Amino acid sequence: MSGPVAIGQAAKETGIKVPTIRFYEEIKLIQPLVRTDGNRRQYEQADLRRLSFIRHARELGFDLDAIRNLLTLQDDPNQPCTVADGIAKARLADIERRIHSLTALKKELKVMIEGCSRGSVSDCRVIETLADHSLCVDDHNHGS
């Protein structure tokens, strides 16, 4: 029932910061919108939904280009779903790659930290491991 809201309220409702909303407008993720007499932006419910969509997609790690694609799809709901599906799948693959890589890093860091003698830097395993790649537990670069 609530009518159009100002940018501050929109920020509150969507969890996107005010300057970020303006930035999204600037790069045309959201349409140039209606202003009040005093030149203030007004956000309708549909705009708020669009912003929430963007926020949620960002939280899932989609980049703005992917989001732009998804929004275009959403604007034209008779298009086939396969494009959205593809974007999401690419994202999933990327996330899986990253989890894999981070897990390897975690292992290496743990070994480093556990080997730390807490003496002086001269026999610190952390520094030493970083300095000499050949000490790595396993080489996460040959794995990708």
Stretch that binds its own copies, among 18-26, 30-38, 39-47, 81-89 (CB under 8 A): 81-89
Nearer to DNA, 37 or 132 (CB): 37
* Separation of alpha carbons 82 and 80, rounded Å: 6
> Is residue 16 a contact partner of residue 54, using CB atoms and an 8 Å limit?
yes
- Could you give the angle at the alpha carbon of 62 between the alpha carbons of 23 and 106, nearest 5°? 120
Among 22, 34, 36, 102, binds its own copies (CB under 8 A): 102
Site for DNA in 3-42 (CB under 7 A): 6-9, 11, 17-20, 22-23, 35-41
Q: Which residue has the tokens 């794995």?
A: 143
How far from chain centre, in Å, is Cα 111? 30
- Could you give the angle at the alpha carbon of 68 between the alpha carbons of 64 and 70, nearest 5°? 115
> Is residue 121 a contact partner of residue 127, using CB atoms and an 8 Å limit?
yes
Report if residue 137 touches its own copies, rule: CB under 8 A.
Answer: no
Report if residue 110 touches DNA, rule: CB under 7 A.
Answer: no
Q: Which does 102 bind (CB under 5 to 8 A by kind): DNA, its own copies, none?
A: its own copies
Contacts of 115 (CB under 8 A, 6+ apart): 125, 126, 129
Q: Which does 137 bind (CB under 5 to 8 A by kind): DNA, its own copies, none?
A: none
Name the residues that contact its own copies, by CB under 8 A.
49, 52-53, 56-57, 59-61, 70, 73-74, 76-82, 84-85, 87-89, 91-92, 95-96, 98-99, 102-103, 105-106, 108-110, 112-113, 116-124, 126-127, 130-131, 133, 140-141
